[in-house]
């Protein structure tokens, strides 16, 4: 494709905009119940962190008119034993088959499902079911040394997690200046406004599931395994998903519980998770404690970097937050140590959350870079530029495009970096003003994807792929891609996604959907154009093709290049000097993410990503009761996410250099890039404003008083 | 389980129904009337996704018992457009890309439509404050503010006395 594009790169408004603004977009919990047959399910969750269920008392629930049935491990063969992770057809972050036995591993584990004719009765019944436990000793604290500690070799995306490069001690000895500090990030929850919801309908030996999932193909394969069906007997539909941010990425037990309940009762079952269910049912960003030592010559040249992470997983989960990843790729440093340890705790299972490892890791690394800059007396923008990795430090390959220094320069100009003063020196009235910077980045991933494209005699087209639009704008992007390739307008292209009966595409995670579907859509359009040349024009013509290409996982490929997006985030903060209240009047993000296919939706996604980072920096924390292992604040009233009044001017600029080596449309993913560097940019600005270095997120009033 | 009977108007249509006394207006709209445009995000009045108008005032349907709506008039997202003609807030939201996943959008729109008739000042900060009861986890806030400002100006021009 040439760089001259007609539809790609234009700010097309979302083609699903009317549906989403009129209530016409149907999400998984919106399936109609007009035939009256639908049963409502409500989960019963464990209230202890470790032990065994000794029995259920369902007497009160059973007396309620409209109560239908209670399901639990006592129903035996309700669910097929899933041999994950040995079954490579799907990915889960919680390996245990739901209801497989009476063991309890954490507070909030699903131990039963109350089914009733109405939601009101199901809720009342679930609340009335009494559970008796035999409690076991539990491990709750990150430093509980009696619990197991893993040192996993590789991350979920295949990245090495225990890395030694050069000689760290020698590098440290060579340095003129060094900083050592420990940084912590708390448990955070995705909190999409749509809670996960599953509606399961059986028709003979076929199962149809309307599921709020970021990965319908993955979900289908999980459901097939758990119901003992073949994949083609299961259909997952998810035309609209109310946000995910990772918690709907991999498959989770509640989907399978709903499917099994529908089979057991012979009725369609709807299970909508409550907001508090969302805190223990589908993952969270785990707590991390990261120790960093960063050393440099007096001219700023990095000589040694050590980044050690302690995090946690559940006894039945396997997620490891790969915080050391930014330390492996952002800067040239000849002597590097990266380690990761995972404590096994009786707490719910973590999972990726927007920028998993990158965001939590960048907070530590980019704070440390700022601390070192201060100690060296070198401008933090300059220090980053001086050490920016010109090639991929993991394998000495060139980056496919490289604009890290330019992003820093442009951002500095846009925020007015030259106004920056020494820490605590910029006062306006009662406010202390500060500017901060951090590098942001996200690896570029690409997965196999197929697509079917049909051209109709009236010169309209249709594209079909089993992918999902979690709010990124994929509907619109797909229409633009097909329109560009076939010489149509975006409005002439119908997009059908969110249905596993369509050609298979990737999971919406790792910022990879757009890059992945590019290959399949381009191939299908090319195949269609060949047919079109020979067609009469009187009949619809259709072509299906796919791309098997997988790129970026483990950083390895045979193209001799590395694919990664860089950017820079700048923050201006104003801190009330008496009360410590932090306001963020302006954030600037400059991003090099390849070709921007739709600047309107892309800008929105970057703004949203940066707001996610504002939450991480200033507000978000799920508290864990150290005694019981319970999450203390599982609600949107007590877990704070940014509200409209928290957000002011957010300025986004794209470098917009196409990366045609990565895919035919030249785009790299943008879903996580805005989030990664935002928290450290804000923390660094807070330091610049106040002279107070906050190393534990979120930043609180009392840190600054 | 106690049941009750109520009559009210939903999007201009008179409804009379018998239901469980525990039924919230949100569940009534969604489960009994299949008006699923109004969303359940938290069921605790903390997210704003269920915002509807009761007698023209924005209200949280999850914190309102359906039985207490007897004799009142309810407007949901489905009742906002005039046929194919979108309300200025709906139109402005599409133009300014004021949503991503779309799940909080019905509540944002109902809140914005109601707020246009409330005594707020003209600045962006007033809009931010007035719209802070509606969470958007995708982070469309700046675009929502731009859309609300454009729609408010348009509404004021079309209905100077409203």
Contact A363, A183 (CB under 8 A): yes
Q: Pick the last residue of a domain from A506, A525, A550.
A: A550
Q: How far apart are the first and last CA of chain B?
A: 44
Residue in A529, A559, A561, A556 with CA at minimum distance from that of residue A545: A529
Bridge partners (DSSP) of residue A361 are: none
A295 and A222 in one domain?
Answer: no
Residues of B in contact with A17 (CB under 8 A): 93-94
What's the token pair of residue A316? 């039945």
Do A313 and A434 share a domain, yes or no?
yes
Whole-number Cα distances in Å, A195 to A272, A278, A474, A500: 7, 7, 21, 21
pLDDT tens digit sequence for A400-458: 999 999 999 999 999 999 999 999 999 999 999 999 999 999 999 999 999 999 999 99
Within-domain flag for A480: yes
Whole-number pLDDT of residue B160? 63
CA distances from A44 to A132, A434, A435, A563 (A): 13, 49, 48, 45
User: DSSP state, A74?
Assistant: G
> Tokens standing for A682?
């804000």
Minimum distance, in Å, between the CA of residue A87 and any CA atom of chain B? 31
C-alpha distances out from residue A265 to A114, A127, A205, A620, B34, Å: 12, 21, 14, 40, 23
Is there a single domain that holds both residue A275 and residue A290? Answer: no
Task: Name the stretches of chain A with pLDDT < 70.
Answer: 1-3, 33-36, 84-87, 555
Spatial CA neighbour of A368 closest among A110, A608, A182, A147: A182
Which residue among B94, B101, B143 places its CB closest to the CB of A18?
Answer: B94
* CB atoms near residue A542 (< 10 Å): 17
Count of CB atoms within 10 A of residue A290's CB?
A: 27
> Exposed (0-12), middle (13-18) or buried (19+): which is A523, by Cβ within 10 Å?
buried
- Chain B residues whose CB is inside 8 A of the A600 CB are 97
Are the Cβ atoms of A636 and B134 closer than 8 angstroms? no
Report chain B residues whose CB lies below 8 A from the CB of A24.
Answer: 37
Residues A337 and A398 in one domain: yes
Distance CA A393, CA A165 (A): 10
Which site among B103, B130, B143 would you substitute to test the A interface, given the most A Cβ atoms closer than 10 Å to its Cβ?
B103
Task: Calculate how close chain A gets to B14, using CA atoms only, in Å.
Answer: 19
Q: CB–CB of A56/A70 below 8 Å?
A: yes
Phi, psi at residue B126, to the nearest 5°? -65, -40
d(CA A381, CA A373): 9
On chain A, the residues whose CB falls within 8 A of the CB of B39 are 27, 193-194, 242
Q: Which of A550, A585, A619 is the last residue of a domain?
A: A550
Residue B118: band (very low, low, confident or very high) from pLDDT cuts 50, 70, 90:
very high
H or E stretch covering A360:
helix A358-376
The minimal CB distance from B109 to the residues A21, A243, A472 is found for A21
A63 close contact with B: CB closer than 8 A: no
Contact of A62 with chain B, judged by CB distance below 8 Å, is answered with no
Separation between Cα atoms, residue A532 and residue A456, nearest integer Å: 10
Sketch out chain B's domains with CATH numbers.
3-79 (3.10.20.30), 88-158 (1.10.150.120)
Rounded distance between C-alpha atoms, residue A95 and residue A252, angstroms: 9
Nearest to A381 by CA among A657, A566, A591, A569: A569
Run of H or E including A115: strand A110-116
Say which of A23, A600, A644 has its CB closest to residue B97: A600
Q: What is the CA radius of gyration of chain B?
A: 16
| A506 interfaces chain B, CB cutoff of 8 Å | no
Model pLDDT, residue A85: 60
User: pLDDT of A71-118, one tens digit each?
Assistant: 999 997 888 888 766 567 899 999 999 999 999 999 999 999 999 999
Q: Do B41 and A636 touch (CB under 8 A)?
A: yes
pLDDT more than 90, % of chain B: 94
Strands A234-237 and A206-211: parallel
* Cα separation values, A252 from A91, A95, A211, A234, A260, Å: 10, 9, 11, 16, 13
Instruction: Look at strands A234-237 and A149-150 and give their pairing.
Output: unpaired
A residues 583-612 near B, CB within 8 Å?
600-601, 603-605, 607-612
Does any domain span residue A5?
A: no
Chain A, 460 to 479: residues with Cβ < 8 Å from chain B are 470-473
What is d(CA B53, CA B46) in angstroms, rounded to the nearest whole number? 17
CATH code at A49? 3.90.1170.50
pLDDT of the residue at B158: 83
Tell me, yes or no, whether A338 and A394 share the same domain: yes
CA distances from A115 to A57, A137, A266, B27, B67 (A): 15, 32, 12, 17, 24
Together in a domain, A395 and A528: no
Question: Measured between CB atoms, does A671 come within 8 Å of chain B?
Answer: no
Residues A631 and A688 reside in one and the same domain: yes
Which residues of A are less than 8 Å from B29 in CB distance? none
How many other C-beta atoms are found inside a 10 Å radius of the C-beta of residue A166?
15
Q: Do A412 and A342 sit in the same domain of this protein? A: yes
Say if the Cβ atoms of A635 and B42 lie within 8 Å: yes
DSSP string over A621-667: -B-B-TTT--BS--STTTS----GGG--EEEEEE-----TTT-TT-B
For A297-315, the DSSP string reads -TTS-EEEEEEEEEEEE-T
Q: Are A106 and A283 in contact (CB under 8 A)?
A: no
CB contact under 8 A, A242 and B101: yes
Pairing of strands A234-237, A269-272: unpaired
Burial of A536: CB neighbours in 10 Å, binned 0-12, 13-18, 19+: exposed
In a domain, A220, yes or no: yes
User: Apex CA A363: angle with CA A173 and CA A437, to 5°?
Assistant: 90
Separation in Å, CA of A274 to nearest CA in chain B: 7
Task: Judge contact between A702 and A580, C-beta under 8 A.
Answer: yes
Structure tokens at A103: 């063991």
| Owner of token pair 């008179």 | B14
Residues A575-587 pLDDT 10s: 999 999 999 999 9
Chain A CB within 8 Å of residue B86 CB: yes
Return the pLDDT at A537. Answer: 84
How far does A522 lie from chain B, in Å, by closest CA? 25
Neighbours of A107 (CB within 10 A): 24
- Total structural domains within chain A: 3
The distance of B150 to chain A (nearest Cα, Å) reads 16
Q: Three-state secondary structure along A668-693?
A: CCCCCHHHHCHHHHHHHHHHHHHCCC
Q: Measured between CB atoms, does B143 come within 8 Å of chain A?
A: yes
Tokens of A662: 């990565």
A529 and A440 share one domain: no
**Domain final residue pick, A518, A550, A582:** A550
A409, A491: one domain? no
Asked whether residue A214 falls in the same domain as residue A336, the answer is no
Considering only CB atoms, A608 lies closest to which of B44, B46, B140, namely B140
Residue A4 included in any domain: no
- Amino acid A86: pLDDT: 57
> Does any domain span residue A600?
yes
A175 and A53 within one domain: no
Cβ–Cβ gap A21/B94 under 8 Å = yes
Among the partner residues B76, B137, B145, nearest to A191 by beta-carbon distance: B137
Residue of chain B nearest A672, judged by CA positions? B138
Active-site residue set of A: 672
State the complex-level ipTM: 0.98
| Closest alpha carbon within chain B to A245 | B138
Residue A512 lies in a domain: yes
* Contact check, Cβ <8 Å, A604/B97: yes
How many residues are listed for chain A in this entry? 705
The domain that holds A483 is classified in CATH as: 3.30.365.10
- Interface contact B32, partner A, CB < 8 A: no
Chain-centroid distance, C-alpha A514:
15
Using one digit for the tens of pLDDT, what is the confidence trace for B63-106?
999 999 999 999 999 999 999 999 999 999 999 999 999 999 99
Contact yes or no for A650 and B143 at CB 8 A: no
- What's the rounded Cα separation, in Å, for the pair B32 and A489? 40
Q: Write the CA distances from A662 to A445, A588, A666, integer angstroms.
A: 9, 27, 6
- The predicted-structure confidence for A598-657, as pLDDT tens digits, reads as follows 999 999 999 999 999 999 999 999 999 999 999 999 999 999 999 999 999 999 999 999
- Flag whether residue B79 sits within 8 Å of chain A, measured between CB atoms: no
Residue range of the domain that includes A635: 163-188+284-444+558-703
Q: What angle do CA B116, B120, B126 make, to 5 degrees?
A: 105
Chain A residues closer than 8 Å to B41 by CB:
193-195, 275, 636
Question: Do B137 and A641 lie within an 8 Å CB cutoff?
Answer: yes
Quote the DSSP letter at residue A288. Answer: E
Answer yes or no: are the C-beta atoms of A334 and A312 closer than 8 Å: no
Q: Is residue A146 part of a domain?
A: no
Domain assignment present for residue A157? The answer is no
Cβ proximity of A40 and A197 under 8 Å? no
């Amino acid at each position: 494709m040439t760089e001259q594009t007609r539809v790609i790169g234009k700010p097309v408004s979302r083609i699903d905009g009317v549906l989403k603004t009129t209530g016409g977009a149907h999400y998984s919990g919106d399936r109609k119940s007009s035939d009256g047959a639908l049963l409502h399910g409500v989960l019963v969750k464990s209230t202890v962190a470790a032990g065994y269920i000794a029995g259920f008392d369902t007497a009160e629930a059973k007396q309620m008119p409209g109560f239908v049935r209670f399901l639990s491990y006592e129903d035996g063969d309700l669910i097929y034993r899933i041999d994950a992770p040995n079954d490579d057809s799907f990915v889960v972050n919680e390996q245990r088959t739901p209801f497989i036995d009476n063991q309890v591993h954490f507070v909030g584990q699903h131990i039963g499902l109350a089914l009733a004719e109405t939601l009101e009765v199901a809720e009342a019944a679930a609340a009335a079911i009494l559970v008796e436990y035999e409690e076991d000793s539990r491990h709750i604290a990150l430093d509980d040394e009696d619990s197991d500690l893993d040192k996993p070799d590789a991350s979920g995306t295949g990245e090495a997690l225990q890395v030694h490069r050069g000689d760290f001690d020698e590098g440290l000895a060579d340095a003129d200046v060094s900083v050592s500090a420990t940084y912590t990030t708390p448990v955070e929850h995705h909190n999409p406004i749509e809670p996960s919801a599953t509606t399961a309908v059986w028709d003979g030996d076929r199962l149809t599931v309307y599921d709020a999932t970021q990965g319908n193909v993955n979900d289908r394969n999980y459901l097939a395994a758990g119901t003992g069906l073949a994949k083609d007997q299961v259909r997952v539909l998810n035309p609209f998903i109310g946000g995910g941010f990772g918690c709907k990425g991999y498959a989770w037990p509640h989907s399978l519980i709903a499917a099994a309940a529908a089979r057991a009762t012979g009725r369609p079952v709807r299970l909508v998770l409550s907001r508090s269910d969302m805190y223990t049912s589908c993952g969270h960003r785990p707590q991390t404690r990261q120790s960093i030592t960063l050393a440099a010559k007096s001219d700023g040249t990095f000589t040694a970097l050590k980044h050690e992470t302690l995090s946690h997983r559940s006894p039945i989960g396997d997620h490891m937050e790969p915080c050391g990843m930014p330390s492996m790729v952002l800067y040239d440093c000849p002597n590097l140590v990266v380690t990761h340890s995972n404590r096994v705790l009786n707490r719910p299972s973590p999972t990726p959350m927007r920028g998993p490892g990158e965001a939590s890791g960048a907070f530590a690394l980019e704070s440390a870079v700022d601390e070192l800059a201060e100690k060296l007396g070198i401008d933090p923008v300059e220090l980053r530029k001086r050490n920016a990795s010109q090639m991929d430090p993991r394998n000495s390959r060139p980056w496919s495009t490289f604009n890290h220094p330019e992003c820093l320069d442009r951002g500095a100009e846009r925020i007015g970096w030259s106004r920056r003063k020494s820490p605590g020196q910029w006062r306006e009235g009662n406010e202390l003003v500060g500017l901060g910077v951090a590098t942001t980045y996200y690896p570029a991933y690409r997965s196999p994807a197929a697509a079917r494209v049909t051209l109709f005699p009236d010169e309209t087209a249709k594209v079909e792929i089993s992918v999902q639009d979690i709010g990124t704008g994929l509907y619109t992007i797909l229409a633009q891609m097909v329109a560009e390739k076939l010489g149509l307008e975006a409005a002439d292209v119908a997009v059908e996604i969110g249905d596993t009966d369509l050609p298979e595409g990737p999971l919406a995670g790792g910022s990879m959907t757009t890059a992945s579907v590019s290959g399949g859509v381009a191939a299908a359009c090319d195949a269609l154009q060949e047919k079109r040349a020979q067609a009469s024009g009187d009949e619809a013509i259709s072509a299906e093709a796919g791309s098997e290409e997988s790129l970026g996982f483990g950083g390895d490929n045979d193209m001799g290049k590395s694919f990664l997006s860089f950017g820079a985030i700048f923050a201006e903060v104003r801190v009330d000097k008496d009360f410590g209240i932090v306001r963020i009047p302006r954030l600037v993000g400059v991003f090099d993410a390849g070709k921007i296919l739709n600047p309107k939706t892309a800008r929105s996604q970057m703004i949203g990503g940066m707001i996610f980072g504002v939450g991480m920096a200033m507000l978000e924390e799920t508290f864990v009761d150290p005694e019981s292992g319970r999450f203390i604040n599982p609600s949107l009233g007590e877990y704070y996410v940014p509200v409209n009044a928290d957000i002011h001017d957010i300025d986004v600029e794209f470098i917009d250099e196409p990366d045609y080596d990565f895919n035919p449309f030249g785009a790299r993913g943008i879903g996580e890039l805005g989030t990664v560097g935002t928290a450290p940019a804000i923390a660094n600005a807070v330091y610049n404003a106040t002279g107070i270095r906050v190393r534990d997120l979120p930043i609180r009033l009392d840190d600054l008083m | 389980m106690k049941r009750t009977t109520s009559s009210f108007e939903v999007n201009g249509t008179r409804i009379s129904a018998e239901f469980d006394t525990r039924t919230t207006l949100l569940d009534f709209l969604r489960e009994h009337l299949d008006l699923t445009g109004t969303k359940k995000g938290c069921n605790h009045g903390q997210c704003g996704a269920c915002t509807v108008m009761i007698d023209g005032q924005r209200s949280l349907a999850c914190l309102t018992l359906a039985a207490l709506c007897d004799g009142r008039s309810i407007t949901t997202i489905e009742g906002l457009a005039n046929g194919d003609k979108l309300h200025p807030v709906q139109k402005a939201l599409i133009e300014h890309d004021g949503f991503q996943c779309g799940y909080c959008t019905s509540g944002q729109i109902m809140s914005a439509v109601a707020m246009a008739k409330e005594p707020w000042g003209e600045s962006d900060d007033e809009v931010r404050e007035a719209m802070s009861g509606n969470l958007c986890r995708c982070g469309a806030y700046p675009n929502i503010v731009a859309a609300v400002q454009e729609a408010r100006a348009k509404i004021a021009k079309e209905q100077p006395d409203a």
